[in-house]
Structure 1
Amino acid sequence: MQTDDIRIETERLVLRLPHIDDFGRYAELHADEGAMKFLGGPLKRAEAWRKFLQMPGAWQLQGFAMFSIVEKETGLWLGQLGPWRPEGWPGNELGWAFHPDAQGKGYATEAGKAAMDWAFENLGWKDVIHCIDPDNVPSQRVAERLGSRNKGPGKLPPPSEDHPIDIWGQSRDEWQARRSA
């Protein structure tokens, strides 16, 4: 699959591969204590740079990763969301992280629907999960709006094995039934 030209548009958003110009807002997101509370804690800019390179690398090597989510009207980078499966991961994840000024506006649900459609159509996945901290109620609400349900506690691979998660998810058949209803 040619990944260079992947671009998905929703009513308000563009989902695309990461660009170097996304890094400034990405670094702000990863420096924010509140936004990173359930994602391993805040990072210094140099640490955020190394983490930023994961998604372009995953796109190059795996043919999928989280999309950069950009506001269509302004071009402002809002966050990242999409398919993600690091080595040892408990399943095919659709994950997300949004800049603090983009949270609570429905962007994760809007982008999540488009990314779920894309992942099921292009990756051949039979199911999808979301690894969510048991105390992360906003992310649990996004998962619910996407039609996923809590399937119980899970375990991440090292170095995150001590981070508590619940695995939320659904099958492709469940997703398709909801989308066609």
Structure 2
Amino acid sequence: MSYPDVQLETERLILRLPRREDFEPYADFSGDEETMRHLGGVQPPPVAWRSLAGLVGSWQLLGFGMFSVIEKASGDWIGRVGPWQPFGWPGTEVGWSLRRASWGQGYGPEAAAATIDWAFDTLDWDQVIHTIDRANAGSKRVAEKLGSRFLRMGLLPAPFDGNPVEIWGQTRAQWQAARATRA
């Protein structure tokens, strides 16, 4: 499989493949205790490097992965959003996580909606899920804004095993029906 060259654009954001120059803001993001509270905990820079490399590797191995989210107005890296399905994952996920300074501005739903469209249209997925820590009220609000609903409790593979997560989601038909009513 070749490494794709994909870029999505929304009104305020550019979603592009992760790059080497994303490491410094990614390491800052990964080192922030509040940002990482529901994402497995703070990662020191060497672990953040491996995490970023895993995002790049997903694109190489699967042809999809999390996008780096770039704010158009500033050019800043503000997070990672997109399709995600590591080995042993409970389904075809579109996930999101943004740096704390970008919370509450609607960037999560904006970026996630673009990647859900892409996952259904390009990857031909039948369903998207979102794995959400039970205490993560902010991500549940994003899922609701996207039209997703709580489906079931589930478990993630190692190294996250042992911590149940809520699995939210919707089918392609549900997504398309909701999009049609908003158009």
TM-score with structure 1 setting the length: 0.97
CA distance in 1, matches of 2:115, 2:177: 16
Q: How many residues align?
A: 181
Structure 2 unpaired stretches of 5+: none
In the other structure, the counterpart of 1:68 is 68
CA distance in 2, matches of 1:24, 1:92: 28
In the other structure, the counterpart of 1:108 is 108
After TM superposition, give the deviation of residue 103 of structure 1 in Å.
1.1
CA distance in 2, matches of 1:161, 1:148: 24
In the other structure, the counterpart of 1:14 is 14
In the other structure, the counterpart of 1:36 is 36
After TM superposition, give the deviation of residue 17 of structure 1 in Å.
0.4
In the other structure, the counterpart of 1:163 is 163
CA distance in 1, matches of 2:101, 2:4: 28
State the one-letter code of the partner of 2:178.
R
CA distance in 2, matches of 1:173, 1:131: 20
- What pairs up with 1:133-172 in 2 under 5 angstroms? 133-172=133-172
In the other structure, the counterpart of 2:121 is 121
In the other structure, the counterpart of 1:27 is 27
Structure 1 unpaired stretches of 5+: none
State the one-letter code of the partner of 2:167.
I
After TM superposition, give the deviation of residue 164 of structure 1 in Å.
2.1
CA distance in 1, matches of 2:9, 2:86: 26
State the one-letter code of the partner of 1:73.
A
Which digits, 9 at most, give the CA deviation of each residue in 1:23-69, with x for residues without a partner? 11110111011110011100111111111101111101100000000
Percentage of pairs with the same residue: 50
CA distance in 1, matches of 2:66, 2:14: 13
After TM superposition, give the deviation of residue 3 of structure 1 in Å.
5.0
TM-score with structure 2 setting the length: 0.96
Which digits, 9 at most, give the CA deviation of each residue in 1:118-175, with x for residues without a partner? 0000111000100001110000000000110011211111221112200000000000
Contact 2:18–2:67, Cα closer than 8 Å, also in 1: yes
CA RMSD across the alignment:
1.1
Distance of aligned partners of 1:63 and 1:4 in 2 relative to their CA distance in 1, 3 Å threshold: closer
State the one-letter code of the partner of 1:80.
R
In the other structure, the counterpart of 2:88 is 88
State the one-letter code of the partner of 1:9.
E
Contact 2:30–2:42, Cα closer than 8 Å, also in 1: yes
CA distance in 2, matches of 1:139, 1:97: 9
